[in-house]
Homo-oligomer: A and B are copies of this chain.
């Protein structure tokens, strides 16, 4: 499996799989080693401790979760265009990495101090987007709304369906995985439509 990749790459791929699915505490070094097709000792050779290996994976996951699409909100595109592109791009990222949202959210809850470090390095300031929303309200283009409520609603509707995947499949899709996946794809259009319907005058 993946014979053309070097050992370190195989470790990172295996570790990402196991850590994102089971979390720091739930993951076993043995399982990561098996997944990578090597033995435990080699894991410690490349990354001295489990925590060091975890940090490498977590940072990568966090980068997927937070900054990429946030840059979009800082551009000078029209508001409705931003909302459309944001939902589409964000949901696409999670279709490719379905375990990332639950993983990052859970690990941040377990260890909130981490966030300050992670965020201070990257310039994620929602102020620009908030300002844009306020200006649209003043211009009378959209209905009055607390910009922070709007942002959290956007994040919630994009992220939640991945965090709640098992319960949604059972409760709403009667175990039909295909129906769930189609539903997720549909959300790339449905979510921005829902948002824009709510705020447009």
Contact = CB atoms under 8 A, between A and B. Distances in A.
Interface of A: 21-23, 25-26, 66, 102, 105-106, 108-110, 112, 115-116, 119, 124, 126, 143, 145-146, 148-153, 155-157, 159-161, 163-172, 183, 186-187, 190-191, 194-195, 197-199
Most-contacted residue by chain B among A126, A143, A167, A168 (CB, 10 A): A167
A186 B146 contact: yes
Contact of A156 (B21, B150, B161): B161
Interface of A is mostly: helix
A161 B154 CA distance: 11
A110 B25 contact: no
29 contacts: A22-B25, A23-B25, A23-B26, A23-B110, A25-B26, A26-B110, A66-B167, A105-B163, A105-B164, A105-B167, A115-B167, A115-B171, A116-B170, A119-B170, A126-B171, A126-B172, A145-B190, A146-B190, A148-B172, A149-B187, A151-B172, A152-B160, A152-B161, A153-B157, A153-B194, A156-B164, A159-B160, A159-B164, A197-B198
Nearest to A152: B161
Contacts of A167: 66, 105, 108, 115
Contacts of A191: 153
A198 B142 CA distance: 12
A185 to B, nearest CB: 12
B115 A170 contact: yes
Nearest to A151: B172
